[in-house]
Chain A
């Protein structure tokens, strides 16, 4: 029975990632995972890349997962779940098993944008029936805030520290949502826990599409972003409303913006509450701040054009 997207209905549903896990207070990742699982109306099996989510949810004899769950290594959640999915197909073909099972993988941006990109690309190209969910907190947070290819330009991390010569990360982020769409998969999308109905609709839609799907969810990390513990939802909302993290989907090659901010806020609104951008507010980095705003504007305009072109 499909659950409607109302709080009344959702609140009655069993949470498949239970309380008692050891993620930091205020972390965006378990919020995103819970939303994804609440939106899932099928039996589901998930693989998890090594990372915060993995090390904090299954320790020794304890597991927070009420679904079949497998962690093998860092760079291979996509390959691992592709093996689970292939076994299911084989056994189903042989009449040894029946039913409709959804296969999912969860990975952080390090395990997805960087070390896991090959494994993810391979699984997407092979066409496994799976949904890969990246919780993007913009750095290797589990090992202590190291730069990844998802880290925003200018951010201060422990491996691209803002110093007297180099003002944080010098490069632009990789656009993984579009890279995944470029695999010609049926569905690639971006979501944010601040816009939970949008997020859950995307999950529901993905589950109804056969083949490989990719969902990129922004997941604020107060440790790495140097923000307040209770700011995860506010920051993910600002990421959307500044168009730093636009909400859109690319279905069968057609781009659709799923949420347009009523008033596009300046990027500084998103950056100001975060200590990782603090150095950029110094007068000598004013030019860099201008560039960052221009990049967001230009990316947003481009996305709008792509969306209008259908």
Chain B
């Protein structure tokens, strides 16, 4: 039986982790993730979980300890944001290279400098090439559901990869929303017992983790990593199907909203997608065929499916809440790659919004859709990449 609650995104993730009851959790504070791990520490102090927490002295050590713990053999979690994720960067590659299914909510926040504690996607986008599976979440419900599904995805015996669950700092992490919790037993049953694969703690069969691999084999090793990533999509869909049976909530590789017959569309990640559905409805009411695509699985990226979903649209704007300075936004680059193989493809533009917690307002999305409407009618593209919501 689902339980309706009013909680923050951080509380929702902490509760998902409690229900999964991992063996080890690395804990280090960083805004806006801090109260997720605080909440988790209180579960430990009050005997609500069997977890041993490691109160590390940095995020680098947190991920290092998580890697050690996961290699030892057991279920491992941590959480971070921003600078913390940046400090982990070296170890993120090692977690995925060693094929260790560590689960980590990432509460998205801007990267310094200048210092800013508010939400944007620079942190997780900067980690997109680290070999982690990335699931992105619009709201607290998504973050909770994705966190639970992440265990099944990462721990799948064909996958064995770490998974990041991304949610927007403050906008989701600190806002109280109505959402539904599954029962503890349901979550326990859904994720199942942790299955070990080559644990260090199997003392009878000693293993060496983390060898030096020179040019004779390194290339093949990395190719194998890519090939494992290609299997993730099917597992994500299978896990989503099982999760739908349990929760009634449907998840895919991405979410299409009024996209089937759309002439114009926005692609937008996470919390801003919620605002955008209202904007799309407003345009539809005015007879303009607008639509929305909200990516969920960003790594591996579902190129074929996205091309199928957006191929018939006349003009698309990819909205990025982070930037690759001097290049296009990271989501734009993926959508662009997805659409390029098509014979006929939409006109594609890129708008950067909401950096460092700058509000994304309905008029911002409306202005972009109006621009797309003009482009779809044969109008000229003034600028392919532009910042919106900028103070004059």
B61→A119 contact, CB < 8 A:
yes
Identify the closest chain A residue to B97 (Cβ).
A72
Q: How far is the CA of A55 from the CA of B210 in the complex (A)?
A: 10
Identify the closest chain A residue to B217 (Cβ).
A60
Chain A interface size range: 35 or more
Interchain residue pairs with CB less than 8 A apart (18) = A45-B72, A59-B211, A66-B206, A68-B206, A69-B209, A70-B209, A71-B211, A79-B56, A80-B65, A83-B68, A83-B76, A84-B71, A84-B72, A88-B201, A89-B52, A99-B203, A122-B56, A126-B54
A80→B201 contact, CB < 8 A:
no
B200→A70 contact, CB < 8 A:
yes
Is residue A8 contacting chain B, with contact meaning CB distance below 8 A?
A: no
Given A67-B206, A68-B207, A72-B210, A60-B68 contact (CB < 8 Å): no
Secondary structure at the B interface, as helix, strand, loop or mixed, is: mixed
Given A83-B24, A91-B201, A59-B214 contact (CB < 8 Å): yes
Is residue B91 contacting chain A, with contact meaning CB distance below 8 A?
A: yes
A101→B203 contact, CB < 8 A:
yes
- The B-contacting residues of A in range 105-132, CB under 8 angstroms, are 118-119, 121-123, 125-126
A106 → B minimal CB distance (Å): 13
Chain A residues near B203 (CB-CB < 8 A): 43, 45, 68, 99, 101
Q: How far is the CA of A63 from the CA of B207 in the complex (A)?
A: 9
Chain A residues near B333 (CB-CB < 8 A): none
Given A97-B201, A118-B61, A86-B69 contact (CB < 8 Å): yes
Given A55-B212, A60-B217, A72-B94, A94-B68 contact (CB < 8 Å): no
Q: How far is the CA of A69 from the CA of B202 in the complex (A)?
A: 11
B348 → A minimal CB distance (Å): 39
Chain A residues near B56 (CB-CB < 8 A): 79, 122, 126
Given A70-B68, A99-B203, A76-B212 contact (CB < 8 Å): no
The 5 A-B pairs at the shortest CB distance, nearest first, are namely A83-B68, A122-B57, A83-B65, A71-B210, A87-B72
Q: How many A-B residue pairs have CB under 8 A?
A: 159
B50→A90 contact, CB < 8 A:
yes
A52 → B minimal CB distance (Å): 11
Q: How far is the CA of A125 from the CA of B310 in the complex (A)?
A: 54
Given A69-B208, A86-B69, A119-B57, A80-B64 contact (CB < 8 Å): yes
Chain A residues near B60 (CB-CB < 8 A): 75-76, 79, 119
Is residue B58 contacting chain A, with contact meaning CB distance below 8 A?
A: yes
A72→B74 contact, CB < 8 A:
no
Q: How far is the CA of A82 from the CA of B71 in the complex (A)?
A: 12
Is residue B82 contacting chain A, with contact meaning CB distance below 8 A?
A: no
Q: How far is the CA of A65 from the CA of B209 in the complex (A)?
A: 11
Chain A residues near B285 (CB-CB < 8 A): none
Chain A residues near B69 (CB-CB < 8 A): 83-84, 86-87, 90
Q: How far is the CA of A59 from the CA of B208 in the complex (A)?
A: 10
B61→A76 contact, CB < 8 A:
yes
A86→B52 contact, CB < 8 A:
yes
Chain B residues near A87 (CB-CB < 8 A): 23-24, 52, 68-70, 72-74, 76, 201
Is residue B157 contacting chain A, with contact meaning CB distance below 8 A?
A: no
Q: How far is the CA of A122 from the CA of B217 in the complex (A)?
A: 35
Chain B residues near A63 (CB-CB < 8 A): 208, 211
Q: How far is the CA of A66 from the CA of B207 in the complex (A)?
A: 8
Chain B residues near A45 (CB-CB < 8 A): 72, 200-201, 203
- The B-contacting residues of A in range 158-201, CB under 8 angstroms, are none
B212→A60 contact, CB < 8 A:
yes
B211→A82 contact, CB < 8 A:
no
Is residue B10 contacting chain A, with contact meaning CB distance below 8 A?
A: no
Is residue A73 contacting chain B, with contact meaning CB distance below 8 A?
A: yes
Chain A residues near B62 (CB-CB < 8 A): 79
Q: Which of B65, B73, B98, B208 contacts A79 (CB 8 A)?
A: B65
- The A-contacting residues of B in range 80-94, CB under 8 angstroms, are 90-91, 94
Q: How far is the CA of A90 from the CA of B212 in the complex (A)?
A: 30
Is residue B382 contacting chain A, with contact meaning CB distance below 8 A?
A: no
Chain B residues near A72 (CB-CB < 8 A): 64, 67-68, 91, 94, 98, 209-210
B10 → A minimal CB distance (Å): 23
Is residue A239 contacting chain B, with contact meaning CB distance below 8 A?
A: no
A42 → B minimal CB distance (Å): 10
Q: How far is the CA of A97 from the CA of B212 in the complex (A)?
A: 30
Q: How far is the CA of A199 from the CA of B42 in the complex (A)?
A: 43
Given A76-B64, A122-B61, A68-B200 contact (CB < 8 Å): yes
Is residue B66 contacting chain A, with contact meaning CB distance below 8 A?
A: yes
Interface string of B237-260 (1 = CB under 8 A from A): 000000000000000000000000
Identify the closest chain A residue to B205 (Cβ).
A68
Q: How far is the CA of A75 from the CA of B61 in the complex (A)?
A: 9
B213→A86 contact, CB < 8 A:
no
Interface string of B16-59 (1 = CB under 8 A from A): 00000001101000000000000000000000001110111110
- The A-contacting residues of B in range 251-305, CB under 8 angstroms, are none
Is residue A271 contacting chain B, with contact meaning CB distance below 8 A?
A: no
Q: How far is the CA of A89 from the CA of B101 in the complex (A)?
A: 20
A80→B211 contact, CB < 8 A:
no
A73→B201 contact, CB < 8 A:
no
Interface hub of A60, A86, A87, A93 (most chain B Cβ within 10 A): A87
Is residue B185 contacting chain A, with contact meaning CB distance below 8 A?
A: no
Chain A residues near B214 (CB-CB < 8 A): 59-60
A76→B91 contact, CB < 8 A:
yes
Given A71-B210, A82-B54, A60-B64 contact (CB < 8 Å): no
B23→A91 contact, CB < 8 A:
yes
